Amino acid sequence: MALVSTPPTLERALPVMDNAEVLRIRNDFPVLNQLVNGQPLVYLDSGATSQNPLSVIEAEQEFYEQRNAAVHRGAHHLAVEATEVFEDARQTIADFIGADYAETVWTSNATEGLNLISYALSNAGLWAAQGRGDAGLKELALNPGDEIVVTEMEHHANLIPWQELAFRTGATLRYIPIDDAGSLRMDLAGDIIGNRTRVLAFTHASNVLGTINPVAELVGLARKAGALVVLDACQSAPHLPLDVKGLGVDFAVFSGHKMLAPTGIGVLYGKQELLDILPPFLTGGSMITTVTMERAEYLPAPQRFEAGTQRISQAVALAAAANYLTETGLDRIHQWEAGLGQRMVSGLESIPGIRVLGPAAGQERIGLAAFDVEGVHAHDVGQFLDSRGIAVRVGHHCAQPLHRRLGLTATTRASAYLYNTTHDVDQFLDAVAGVRAYFRA
């Protein structure tokens, strides 16, 4: 069976991470050992896509070398082994996020997971109207007059699916605004989340602001309203301990490529009682029990939502990534990255002409910082840093409404992970300090 997550008590017993340990960790990541434009690579774009340790690369390679076969479809030796490691990987990820096995659904990425939920909810209305499925579907169906609530800081992946769900069902989309500092207006949230709210969807940690949102308070408001809660955990699952049951959410999504795993694999968590009655999003083979020429009957979750050939090697690699993070200690990783984030923010705030988005230095945030350089476009900032071997993200980070609210069209974002040192941050800050002079801004 797959390894389970290290108990928190064991994680706390481990020493605090330091630069010496991080340099040892860095040796596990082959891509980081290279020159970019003649400079040692400083990779500060893990908020977009993280790098892969050897154990993850080897896990995927070993699957193809030793066990490559379709899962759930054959009785031969390779098919049985492939199915075993595929389902062991599911158990590993369930343990990693504090979920049950059958509550863990494979997707291609978090975006697919969010679309899965939104389409399943709109299909719930269609099924209920036709008398199909469980009687509880009627309670999940959205109708004109119902409301879906998001926040102004959402990634497009956690905004557009809800816009489309509102369009398909006649529901109204509302949002909790942010203040000038980028924090949610929780003083308004209680009025926005009300007796018409059917879905509350929000990010655990902002991919632009670095803000860690008050999950317990938001879940409490949703429960009072009788609304479903959908959590975007893309920027939290890779960086801090995640207990979906402890958080009390109904659904959560995250992507493997942001947590040391390959692209093409993501996870949807859903409470079993909801997953087992929701209509499927994609249909076809591997998710059915009986098929006639007129209709089909569907398996319970998780297979109910996993039509067609699955992402087998990617799931195996994601489990290896989860084990790597667990063995390192997510509490320790979070503490180290939080320190790097504070170092970035305080350093950026000290540079003239720099505007940092999100919490100020000294306030809680994850290990990333998005900023605007007065008089210099973000794309130019990114190219300047790249010329010095420093990889960052530029643009609106799939959060145009958030940037528009803050009076910006694009920013530069540096995001750290467990393989970044304080020296990486200092090199980044030294380079940023030279941007305005270089462009004569």
* 169 and 233 belong to one structural domain: yes
* 192 and 270 belong to one structural domain: yes
* 85 and 116 belong to one structural domain: yes
What gap in Å lies between CA 358 and CA 349, rounded to an integer?
12
* 306 and 281 belong to one structural domain: yes
* 206 and 67 belong to one structural domain: yes
Residue 260 vs residues 35, 163, 237, 326, 417: alpha-carbon distances, Å: 21, 31, 11, 12, 10
Confidence of residue 44 (pLDDT cuts 50, 70, 90): very high
Q: Which amino acid is at 286?
A: S
* 303 and 356 belong to one structural domain: no
For residue 365, what is the enclosing H or E element? none
Report pLDDT digits (tens) over 294-322: 999 999 999 999 999 999 999 999 999 99
What gap in Å lies between CA 111 and CA 48, rounded to an integer?
13
Whole-number pLDDT of residue 74: 79
Q: Is the Cβ–Cβ distance between 256 and 266 less than 8 Å?
A: yes
Confidence of residue 11 (pLDDT cuts 50, 70, 90): very low
Give a yes or no: residue 100 inside a domain.
Answer: yes
Give a yes or no: residue 1 inside a domain.
Answer: no
When divided into structural domains, the chain yields a total of: 2
* 147 and 267 belong to one structural domain: yes
Q: Is the Cβ–Cβ distance between 383 and 192 less than 8 Å?
A: no
Q: Is residue 265 classed as helix, strand or coil in its secondary structure?
A: coil
Give a yes or no: residue 15 inside a domain.
Answer: yes
What gap in Å lies between CA 305 and CA 283, rounded to an integer?
8
What gap in Å lies between CA 310 and CA 338, rounded to an integer?
35
Residues paired with residue 390 on neighbouring β-strands, in sequence order: 42
Whole-number pLDDT of residue 9: 40
What gap in Å lies between CA 359 and CA 363, rounded to an integer?
6
* 342 and 254 belong to one structural domain: no
Residue 84: count of CB within 10 angstroms of its CB? 13
* 316 and 357 belong to one structural domain: no
What gap in Å lies between CA 238 and CA 107, rounded to an integer?
17
Give a yes or no: residue 123 inside a domain.
Answer: yes
Q: Show which of 326, 357, 386 is a domain's final residue.
A: 326
Q: Could you tell me the CATH number of the domain that includes residue 412?
A: 3.90.1150.10
Give a yes or no: residue 3 inside a domain.
Answer: no
Report pLDDT digits (tens) over 172-208: 999 999 999 999 999 999 999 999 999 999 999 999 9
What gap in Å lies between CA 140 and CA 63, rounded to an integer?
40
Residues paired with residue 269 on neighbouring β-strands, in sequence order: 104, 252
Give a yes or no: residue 290 inside a domain.
Answer: yes
Q: Is the Cβ–Cβ distance between 205 and 195 less than 8 Å?
A: no
- pTM recorded for the entire structure: 0.95
Q: Could you give the residue numbers annotated as active site?
A: 398
* 23 and 86 belong to one structural domain: no
Q: Quote the percentage of the chain above a pLDDT of 90.
A: 94
Q: Is the Cβ–Cβ distance between 390 and 44 less than 8 Å?
A: yes
Q: Show which of 326, 344, 377 is a domain's final residue.
A: 326
The chain-wide mean pLDDT, for the chain, equals 95
What gap in Å lies between CA 211 and CA 299, rounded to an integer?
39
* 152 and 248 belong to one structural domain: yes
Q: Is the Cβ–Cβ distance between 323 and 95 less than 8 Å?
A: no
Q: Could you tell me the CATH number of the domain that includes residue 214?
A: 3.40.640.10
Give a yes or no: residue 2 inside a domain.
Answer: no
Domain that holds residue 195: 61-326
Give a yes or no: residue 377 inside a domain.
Answer: yes
- 55: tokens are 């154990």
CA 37 to chain CA mean position, Å: 31
Q: Show which of 301, 326, 351 is a domain's final residue.
A: 326
For β-strands 197-203 and 228-232, DSSP reports them as: parallel
* 313 and 179 belong to one structural domain: yes
Report pLDDT digits (tens) over 277-288: 999 999 999 999
Q: Is the Cβ–Cβ distance between 29 and 297 less than 8 Å?
A: no
Q: Is the pLDDT of residue 13 over 80?
A: no
